[in-house]
Structure 1
């Protein structure tokens, strides 16, 4: 396979500036691609990643890592220690696939009907295995590398489960890094936000609007929960447009409305289900009270009632300033300043956020677009990645690890 990309930043440029890294990474490229294609052909859903975890564990042991299995369910943690004392850096990859069809035209098309790696977690796993293989052959300058292969990101539960099971302990991780493949960036490009938070907190809620049903021909004899719900749906958008600082970010969206059994019957109740996305923790904290106050007030004014069930799911990803600057330095050193783009925070969710709440962290996007076939968005049935991007992902995570440990030699382990 070739190791060049059709854009202004050639991976082969690395041969001139960092020949030892170039040789090590390019030599493993075929193996990393083969791993990714095997994972893509055999995708597994959240907390069912037993085959994937088995492959990861086997390879890590082969490469000299101490391995813990079944961490937080089906998670795997690999530990590689230097002879010199120093800090601990953690690198994370998620392993689960989505419950949807795979419609790519390739020999590595999913063999598991209705399950597909349409978000790129197969690529994340392969890239992190590439980093692990590299450091099994290239000595760490000091300290410890902890590679964390996480289950169940797609349902927002895997990171919290691994943390609860001690993934960040023994030894304590001092800095975390993770990436996500992204078709909005070309292969050879990276992006990170300059804001404090990069991905939104994800919460879900359900409102039960209670009225008094009856015949649709005699609405005056009812308390119509559908009309009350209509008022609530419109009024709740005032939280975004009139109760939130325009420089802050809130998304409040409804995805489900359930009510009634027949067109001529006004029902007794309506269920409204939606999601709230926020960046700032203080904004997030106040959302249930705001929603409940507006919805209940409107329902009471029409003679009805409204009850709120609000569930906090995943927090927002917090970006550590030092870790971000180290990432920027690393990318610039490898590929020049123009390889790094500034991205706005995303209102999508990512449960790497749980790690970022516990440990100083950085999370960035890795460009994987190189033509029409790799331009489809994440969660699209035809989503695929340019595998040449793995070279860039492995090199940045590896040099980020090396730079962090080298800069902090003799630090606490």
Structure 2
């Protein structure tokens, strides 16, 4: 099987780190089986009990110092080199999504309504691959700190791990993470062309209160539905008229609830949505702007409005030096064309909490090779070309060797 998955770009690693190259290839089949096992047994945020045990068991077998139950179900593996030196952290998230898995493979999820459709099974496998490789080739200098994180999908896992001491013992000099990218081909990587790689994520609930009544006599009521419609249209003017056009803001409503029947005007309507921003200063003004517009419109029509605004995760920040280091070392290993630059994503990623504390780089790993692997993340038929595991392990291990040996 191994001979079928080597391509030209991966072959280039052989010239840079032949021992690393051979170690990755020799373990590839076993790592594919680990990935398929994880895909078949997905677990939701803070429920990753089986996954954590799998991770911890392998790490112990391979000679790592293991810390468990960090931030709930998080696991940390530490490997110390023969000489003291810098500390590199590598992070993978482990949780799955509450949705169907509809891939036509025998490793499809066995749990109805739970699926690894965001690639965290691949992320975890990549990091286990790094662990296995270094258990075989050894670490000459410095310390490797592998962080297996729960609950990325609800934006709480990184924060909980940090609160449980994940940044200490030892303190990291740099940390790196990745995300699968079906928009990129296997063998391709990308990093953000800006300071921020992913958007800050905020969640809001807006409650509009009027006075219910008969739909045939709206003049005797205060129509909360009509007020809500006016508010929703006006809120988009924040994006188009109050924010610099060169800035990036998304304000989306995903849920509206109100009323019991078409002939009854309800007392209240509830709206749920999200705000995504890259610029921290822009993030600071969104709540106030939204509240002011919504309250004033509701008041003008005789109603009232309450905004409940929840700050979830900050924007994911790439350190310029770390990003440049990743680009240069990865191009050295896989070729000049292997790494490209892409626009920041307005999707959220709670690796951002690590990036606020430790110099960081976060990159995208290409996973597509055809129609069956072209479906986007968070879709029921999302899957990857497993050759991407070679490059995920290769990039992270090469980064570790380059960083720790300097």
- The two structures have a TM-score, normalised by structure 1, of 0.96
Q: Where does residue 333 of structure 1 map in the other structure?
A: 332
Aligned to 1:349: 348
1:130 maps to what in 2?
A: 129
Cα distance in 2 for residues equivalent to 1:253 and 1:317: 20
Q: Structure 2 unaligned runs (5+)?
A: none
Give the corresponding residue for 2:188.
189
Structure 1 residue runs without a partner (length 5+): 408-413
**In the alignment, is the contact (CA less than 8 A) between 2:187 and 2:366 conserved in 1?**
yes
- C-alpha distance in structure 2 between counterparts of 1:6 and 1:16, whole Å: 14
Deviation, structure 1 residue 362: 0.6
Q: How many residues align?
A: 406
Could you state the TM-score of these two structures normalised by the residue count of structure 2? Answer: 0.97
Contact kept? 2:254, 2:272, Cα under 8 Å:
yes
Partner of 2:217: 218
Q: Match for residue 2 of structure 2? A: 2
Q: CA deviation at 1:139?
A: 2.7
Match for residue 71 of structure 2?
A: 72
For 2:140 and 2:67, how far apart are their aligned partners in 1? 23
CA distance in 1, matches of 2:101, 2:3: 27
CA distance in 2, matches of 1:3, 1:342: 30
- Pair 1:150-2:149 in alignment: yes
Shift >6 Å, 4+ stretches: none
TM-fit CA distance, 1:5? 5.1
Q: Structure 1 residues 3 and 348 mapped into 2: Cα distance closer, same or farther (>3 Å)?
A: farther
The Cα shift of 1:193 comes to 0.7
Offset, 1:344: 0.4
Contact 1:82 1:140 in 2 (8 A): yes
Determine the structure 1 residue equivalent to 2:96.
Answer: 97
Query: What CA deviation, in whole Å up to 9, does each residue of 1:146-189 have, x standing for no partner?
Result: 00001111111111111110111111112110011111000000
Q: Report deviation, 1:292.
A: 0.3
Distance 1:310 1:15 in 2: 51
- Distance in 1 between residues matched to 2:271 and 2:9, nearest whole Å: 51
Q: CA separation in 2, counterparts of 1:89 and 1:206? A: 40
Native 8 Å contact 2:155 2:312 kept in 1:
yes
Secondary structure of the structure 2 residue equivalent to 1:262: coil
Secondary structure of the residue aligned to 2:242 is coil
Name the CA distance, whole Å, in 2 between partners of 1:233 and 1:5: 51
CA contact 1:4–1:388 (8 Å) conserved in 2: no
Name the counterpart of 2:25.
26
- Cα RMSD for the two superposed structures: 1.3
Contact 1:141–1:402 (CA<8 Å) still a contact in 2? no
Q: Deviations over 1:70-129 (max 9, x none)?
A: 111111001111132212111001111111111111121211222111111111111100
> Is this contact kept in 2: 1:4–1:11, CA < 8 A?
no
Give the equivalent residue in structure 2 for 1:164. 163
For residue 41 of structure 1, what is the aligned residue in structure 2? 40
State the match for 2:278 in structure 1: 279
- 1:100-119 correspondence to structure 2 within 5 Å: 100-119=99-118
Change in Cα spacing, 1:177 to 1:240, as seen in structure 2 (3 Å) is same
